[in-house]
Structure 1
Amino acid sequence: MTITGLDREVLLTLNAFGGGSNNLWDLANNSLFRGFPVFFSLVALWFSGDQPERRGRMLAGLLAVCLATMLSVWSQFHTAVHIRPILDLAIPLDTVIPRTPWDRTNSFPSDTATLFFSLAAVVFVEKRWVGLFCFVWVAAIVAIPRIIVGLHYPSDILGAFILGPATVFLFATLPYPKGLFERALTWFEGRLYIVHALLFIFLAEAFDLFPSLQALGKVFARMLHS
């Protein structure tokens, strides 16, 4: 069996499990339910101690989250690995998602899974057991349901699992991003409320997949092509 055939077989097997379940999709797509353990852990780790080294490492990790997510979205727009399952009417899917056109027909890798796996990796770097729990939560609540309803192939999720954490782990080991953020935290030592405010805005946007940034990106794209 080819990789493409295995991808499709796993997709159809999982889809038969609950692709038509509104309850499953409502839970998996609920921002608070799917994101609570990850975002709670990030905030708790940030405020667990005034340690510039840890906070610098976390900020470098969050920068990696942004980069990995942007790469995943770019890949969906500019590569042609395979069409999103829900858009391929030749695949007999049972799904609660309308099979209507999307702005991104390519689905590799999953940008949602990339974001959440990346955030789980930031937690993992600081607290291994908590991070492992976050990885399992993201896989079960965020990633696998997206296969079940036909938004992604298993390979899309696997690609996200590799891309997101690999980028975070790379940034966690490189000295430059961490050192730069550590120095910035030292400069803002008497004005950490500014850093906290920026962190709050980032997490608020990330909580629902950067909707404002995506909208701004589309506006700028239209302006450039007008």
Structure 2
Amino acid sequence: MRISDRRTIIVVDRPQFARKSTVAKIAALRSDFHVRLDAAKSKTMTITGLDREILLALNAFGGGNDTLWEFANNSLFRGFPVFFSLVALWFASEQPERRGRMLAGLLGVCLATMLSIWSQFHTAVHIRPILDPAIPLDTVIPRTPWDRTNSFPSDTATLFFSLAALVFVEKRSAGLFCFVWVALIVAIPRVIVGLHYPSDILGSFVLGPAVVFILAALPYPKRLFEHALTWFEGRLYIVHALLFIFLADAFDLFPSLQALGKVLARSLHS
């Protein structure tokens, strides 16, 4: 009887124990989820606060300095080392492998720049600092309306970091110099005057080189361009002319392509 009673007790109590255990586990999981969610929110607020602090510190350094911005925004000054390196590397070797790889990398430059502009139009990470009246900025840039209120990531920094990555693929020493040049002359001044947050620049530094490295490493784009160069072997002046037009437009941040894109966007919406 005792054994039977014990067995009966076990049979009766087991479901109740299981239910209590399940409820306890669910409560523990729910509590853990809320703890993790609060931690994530706190971390996000910390990162946002740090982003703003760095922006204000750099802006206080020279946000109202006209000379600094004129140098940083001068197309010849900011672009000379990067574009000089690209042209020099193109003509330094006539091997189809190198030129095919460089053309694949230039395709990556276009894609990365287009992605950064698309992101500014279609995502809402944060408003451009210069357009936020809550941020006390000292800047030489007039606070006029922009067609892109979102500033993540910087399309200018994406373009130049992408080009520096292409130089790095072909010659590491020159590429490292170009990366430092772009960071100091192109990217950081855009934070100083309030056009971008530091996180916008970091996003550009990740996006641009990543796309270029991937396309320069994939075999198919390189082979495609190599075959095209072989086909134009007796007419390379056409390739050089197209490359010149591309670099000339890229030298000033693709103004022609951006204008055409806006015209196409308006025609599609009308």
1:195 corresponds to: 239
CA displacement 1:125-163 (0-9 Å, x = unmatched): 000000000000000000000000000000000000000
Report how many aligned residue pairs link the two structures: 226
Aligned match for 1:34, one of 60, 74, 78? 78
2:41 corresponds to: none
Q: After the TM superposition, which segments of 4 or more aligned residues of structure 1 sit over 3 Å from their partners? A: none
CA distance in 2, matches of 1:100, 1:8: 21
Q: CA RMSD in A?
A: 0.7
- Unaligned residue ranges in structure 2 (runs of 5+): 1-44
Per the alignment, in what secondary structure is the counterpart of residue 135 of structure 2?
coil
Per the alignment, in what secondary structure is the counterpart of residue 2 of structure 1?
helix
Q: Report how far residue 100 of structure 1 moved.
A: 1.3
2:195 corresponds to: 151
Matched, 1:2 2:49: no
In the superposition, the TM-score normalised over structure 2's length comes to 0.83
1:11 corresponds to: 55
In the superposition, the TM-score normalised over structure 1's length comes to 0.99
After TM superposition, the structure 1 = structure 2 runs for residues 32-71 of structure 1, keeping only pairs within 5 Å, are 32-71=76-115
CA distance in 2, matches of 1:109, 1:134: 20
CA distance in 2, matches of 1:207, 1:138: 13
Q: Which has the larger radius of gyration?
A: 2
Greater fraction helix: 2
1:162 corresponds to: 206
Matched, 1:133 2:177: yes
Q: Report how far residue 47 of structure 1 moved.
A: 0.3
Q: Which structure has the higher relative contact order (CA within 8 Å, separation 6+)?
A: 1
Q: Report how far residue 2 of structure 1 moved.
A: 0.6
Letter paired with 2:104: A
Identity of matched residues, %: 87
1:76 corresponds to: 120
- Unaligned residue ranges in structure 1 (runs of 5+): none
